[in-house]
Structure 1
Amino acid sequence: MTDWFLGLQTWQQALVAGMFTWFITLLGAALVFFAKTIKQKILNFIYGFAAGVMVAASFWSLLAPGIDWAEINGGLPAWLVVAIGFMFGGIFLYITDKTIPHIHFGKDQEREGISTKLKKTILLVFSITIHNIPEGLAIGVAFGAINRGDTSTAIAAATLAALSLAIGIGIQNFPEGAAVSIPLRQEGMSRKKAFFMGQASALVEPMMAVLGALLVTSMKSILPYALSFAAGAMIYVVVEELIPEAQGSQESKNSHHAVFGFMIGFTIMMILDVALG
């Protein structure tokens, strides 16, 4: 952690972290210039890996701190606070999923959201963009929690926890960038356009990170709700999107790729959270 970063305002730190995760997505999307196809078992691993990171982050980076903050603030029981926030996070993503037009990745490519005449490739990008909304929000909320600490030790711990979350999401964004751009290339899109679409899918992360940080810093009482809200949104994406994509289109002989991808992703995020947070 450098002095210039620590000297930034909370929303600026969240913006930098969100830009970092977007940049890692850009690097992953750039793989389209070196490969035209991607094997299904690799895609299965990528989706499983992303799911593992998000599940681990949902507990150690969001729900556990949310419970701690709810206990400190008093009022409603901590378990009720995080339960409310968690459920509203899932409901929010459900409404988003049913409202924003998109096409799921995978062999079925099911359409969801309001009816539209947008091109198929745009709808595919919208799909991964929806996925990135809770990731950006989680980063912003985590950084918003930094200045809520009562001691320098608590602030330092919150800073490390926020940084570990950003690093973990950044790690899983690298293969995700490739998982967007390369399939678009396989659909017949040019390499440059597939790269542009792949990196653009993560531009929502810095925007949501700033929004999450501003909300938390302006209203202290919503912090535990915001943390659990982000967790609920992430779990919704994992169950509704990532796990089906990792498992639904693969043959039984390849099922272990998604499983080990999940376990590796979960382990990496768990180590980051426990070691740094």
Structure 2
Amino acid sequence: MIDTFMGFDPWLQALLATLFTWITTGLGAAVVFFTKEVNEKFLDTMLGFAGGVMIAASFWSLLAPAIEHSQNHFIGEWFPPAVGFLLGGLFIYAFDQLIPHAHRNAPEDRMEGWRAEKKRRSTLLVSSLTLHNIPEGLAIGIAFGAVSANGEGAAMAAGAATLALGIGIQNIPEGMAVAMPLRGEGMSRTKSFFLGWMSAVVEPISAVIGVLAISFLDPVLPYALALGAGAMIFVVVEEVIPSTQENGHSDLAAMSLMLGFTLMMILDVALG
């Protein structure tokens, strides 16, 4: 089955991989059908785990390959990864400033983005996780795009598939992080589930954009890989970790982050 998957065109691999991550987001959002209230301790723990997965994936699946593909750069192998990593953070920062959104646990006076104060909080919560999912889809697309751009077939495809698996696992708590607060605000279970699931629909879209861009722009491969890493690290530091520190569960969230990091490291080293 894996061989069949790797036999597809890279853009189709990326699309199928992010359809998987979209489905796992729906699995997380479906928790609202089985609980009456938001369990903040459980959510902080799961989001800490998600942050750990994202940090590990950023290095092993994106930044390390970017360094490897920069060995012959005329300035130095550090240059493309450093530039791409910083550009990834700036890319998400720009979206962060433009798109109206609200982070989980943020007070009413700390809405972010253009004209955020005019939007409903439920809309802002969905926008926040939608923004969060853009770099994840982009990272998967870039990883699969590197397969065709670099010509290393099975090895790079396995690494990209591992990245998609890790992001799919951590998308479960992300689905919860949208749906459960919406349910806590009084929204119906069905609507909370639907909006939680749809928050990840941008992943397949951004993945296809990423893979197509890399396929046509081979020289920027290491920059693009590092860009995906920088974008995900920005999201973890700016949103995921702070959202786990407000309810008195910081130690539990930190240990869960380490578990998520370890699991993704194992997956990438063993499978990638």
TM-score, shorter chain, exceeding 0.5:
yes
Deviation at 1:241, TM superposition (A): 0.5
- Which position in structure 1 is the counterpart of 2:250? 255
The more displaced of 180-189 and 113-122 is 113-122
Contact 2:102 2:127 (8 Å CA) reproduced:
yes
Deviation at 1:155, TM superposition (A): 1.9
Change (3 A) 1:56 1:3: closer
Contact 2:6 2:154 (8 Å CA) reproduced:
no
- Which position in structure 2 is the counterpart of 1:86? 85
* Structure 1 residue matching 2:78: 3-state secondary structure: helix
Say which of 222, 230, 233 aligns to 1:232: 230
C-alpha distance in 2 between matches for 1:93 and 1:112: 13
The more displaced of 57-66 and 112-121 is 112-121
C-alpha distance in 2 between matches for 1:261 and 1:28: 17
Amino acid in structure 2 at the alignment position of 1:15? L
Deviation at 1:256, TM superposition (A): 2.0
* Structure 2 residue matching 1:103: 3-state secondary structure: coil
- Offset from partner CA, 1:47-78 (integer Å, 9 cap, x none): 21111011101100000000111115x33322
Change (3 A) 1:70 1:47: same
Say which of 245, 260, 271 aligns to 2:266: 271
- Aligned-residue Cα RMSD (Å) equals 1.4
Contact 1:36 1:182 (8 Å CA) reproduced:
no
Deviation at 1:8, TM superposition (A): 2.0
Contact 1:145 1:216 (8 Å CA) reproduced:
yes
Contact 1:71 1:78 (8 Å CA) reproduced:
yes
* Structure 2 residue matching 1:136: 3-state secondary structure: helix
- Which position in structure 2 is the counterpart of 1:106? 105
Is 2:220 the counterpart of 1:222? yes
Amino acid in structure 2 at the alignment position of 1:125? V
Q: Percent identity at matched positions?
A: 54
Deviation at 1:118, TM superposition (A): 2.8
- In the alignment, structure 1 segments of 5+ residues that lack a partner are none
- Offset from partner CA, 1:178-233 (integer Å, 9 cap, x none): 12111100101011110111001100111111011001111101110000001111
Deviation at 1:261, TM superposition (A): 1.2
- Which position in structure 1 is the counterpart of 2:178? 180
Deviation at 1:263, TM superposition (A): 0.7
> What TM-score comes out, normalization by structure 1 length?
0.94
Contact 1:55 1:235 (8 Å CA) reproduced:
yes
- Which position in structure 2 is the counterpart of 1:118? 119
* Structure 2 residue matching 1:36: 3-state secondary structure: coil
> What TM-score comes out, normalization by structure 2 length?
0.95
Task: Report how many residues are paired.
Answer: 270
Amino acid in structure 1 at the alignment position of 2:113? G
The more displaced of 190-199 and 139-148 is 139-148
- Which position in structure 1 is the counterpart of 2:143? 142
Deviation at 1:84, TM superposition (A): 0.5
- Which position in structure 2 is the counterpart of 1:132? 133
Deviation at 1:2, TM superposition (A): 4.0
- In the alignment, structure 2 segments of 5+ residues that lack a partner are none
C-alpha distance in 1 between matches for 2:103 and 2:18: 24
C-alpha distance in 1 between matches for 2:106 and 2:210: 34
Change (3 A) 1:197 1:159: same
Contact 1:20 1:170 (8 Å CA) reproduced:
yes
Deviation at 1:44, TM superposition (A): 1.3
- Which position in structure 2 is the counterpart of 1:41? 41
Deviation at 1:107, TM superposition (A): 4.9
- Which position in structure 1 is the counterpart of 2:242? 244
Amino acid in structure 2 at the alignment position of 1:238? V
Amino acid in structure 2 at the alignment position of 1:61? S
Deviation at 1:121, TM superposition (A): 0.8
